[in-house]
């Protein structure tokens, strides 16, 4: 009987790729591409971007996937353009026109409306969204022709500013918001309030805390840094080893995602105990006696996330890097 080949697992590489996702590429497709380029064992992303949107897509490799929830909670910043005069089924350029108007908003009207959409507001997600309705994705129901009632939910918008008006009469905005905010819904609702209808013509994400535009790397840069794929020279010859050093240099360290947590350095002995899953006593004038969630590091690298109880750190999630 032929020996079954073991599936290649890939490299145990860890860190963050802050991809400048191009328009036309889905988030899942982007993750697959990055995983393939790095030959990584594991990959995931922190916050979906629609195919028609571009910009900052944080992709975690290896141990960094354990920190995805912290980035998901991070503040997002988007720059987006609203085209007035038409409402569309998808609330962006992709959908069919469902409402139209010859009205166009004046700058004064827009500025007067912005406070209504700042702070904690109720927002109804788009029909074409990943929201689950009775176990099914809303966009699947919408594509099958169903119109579903999606309940409104609270979202938080910290900042909403009018940046400029384009020669075409479109309005460019910048928004700083929390998790779960749909910019497409914002364009739809503002258009209805103004009596002129509107949809997203351009959408770019420029920040997902703690990552910013300065961290962005393009697909072209990644592809140019990727070592060529080589083949073995003979049937029994080992496959030549690829040099990933140039590509790995574009990674951001796993621990960067945990800037939101208090961090404490450990000694070699403490680090050894943590790797075994044991608690350690944290010493230091600024170390609290109790804390729900903190991070400990060893030689500048994240080692574990856990809690402090009676002055002792108890690991909940240990990193193998």
Please report the DSSP string for 152-175 in residue order. Answer: PEEEEEEEEEEEEE-TTS-EEEEE
What are 73's two structure tokens?
């909670």
Please report the DSSP string for 80-136 in residue order. Answer: EEEEESEEETTSBTTS-EEEE-S----HHHHHHHGGGGSEEEEEPPPSSSS-EETTE
DSSP state of 257: G
Q: Collect contacts of 273-282 with beta carbons under 8 A, ≥24 apart.
A: 274/303, 274/304, 274/313, 274/315, 274/318, 275/303, 275/318, 277/315, 277/318, 278/315, 279/312, 279/313, 279/314, 279/315, 280/312, 280/313, 281/311, 281/312, 281/313, 282/308, 282/311, 282/312, 282/313
- For residue 231, is the peptide bond before it cis, meaning its omega torsion is within 30 degrees of 0? no
Q: Is 50 a catalytic residue?
A: yes
Q: Which of 50, 92, 189, 215 is catalytic?
A: 50
What are 248's two structure tokens?
């790995």
**Cα–Cα distance list, 246 to 19, 30, 220, 223, 225 (Å):** 16, 20, 13, 11, 5
Contact 89, 126 (CB under 8 A): no
Number of other CB atoms surrounding residue 290 within 10 Å: 9
Q: What is the rounded CA–CA span in Å between residue 212 and residue 176?
A: 13
How do 301-309 and 136-137 pair as beta strands? unpaired
Which residues are the active-site residues?
A: 50
């Amino acid at each position: 009987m032929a020996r079954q080949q073991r599936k290649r697992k890939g490299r145990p590489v860890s860190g963050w790729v802050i991809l400048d996702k191009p328009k036309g590429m889905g988030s899942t497709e982007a993750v697959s591409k990055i995983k393939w380029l790095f030959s990584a064992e594991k990959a995931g992303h922190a916050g979906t971007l629609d195919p028609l949107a571009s910009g900052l897509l944080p992709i975690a490799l290896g141990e960094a996937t354990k920190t995805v929830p912290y980035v998901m909670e991070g503040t997002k910043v988007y720059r987006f353009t609203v085209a007035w005069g038409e409402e569309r089924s998808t609330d962006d350029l992709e959908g069919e026109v469902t409402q139209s108007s010859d009205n166009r908003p004046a700058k004064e009207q827009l500025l007067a409306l912005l406070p209504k959409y700042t702070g904690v507001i109720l927002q109804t997600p788009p029909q074409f969204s990943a929201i689950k309705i009775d176990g099914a994705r809303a966009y699947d129901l919408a594509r099958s022709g169903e119109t579903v009632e999606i309940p409104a939910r609270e979202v938080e918008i910290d900042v909403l500013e009018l940046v400029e008006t384009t020669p075409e009469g479109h309005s460019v905005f910048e928004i700083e918001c929390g998790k779960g905010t749909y910019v497409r819904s914002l364009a739809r609702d503002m258009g209805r309030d103004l009596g002129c209808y509107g949809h997203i013509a351009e959408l770019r994400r420029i920040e997902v805390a703690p990552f910013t535009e300065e961290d962005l790397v393009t697909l072209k840069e990644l592809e140019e840094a990727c070592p060529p794929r080589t083949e073995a020279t003979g049937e029994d010859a080992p496959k030549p080893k690829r040099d990933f050093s140039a590509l790995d240099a574009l990674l951001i360290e796993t621990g960067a995602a945990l800037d939101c947590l208090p961090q404490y350095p450990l000694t070699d002995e403490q680090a050894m105990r943590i790797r075994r899953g044991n608690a350690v006593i944290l010493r230091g004038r600024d170390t609290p006696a109790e804390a729900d969630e903190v991070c400990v590091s060893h030689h500048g690298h994240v080692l574990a996330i856990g809690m402090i109880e009676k002055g002792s750190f108890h690991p909940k999630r240990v990193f193998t890097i």
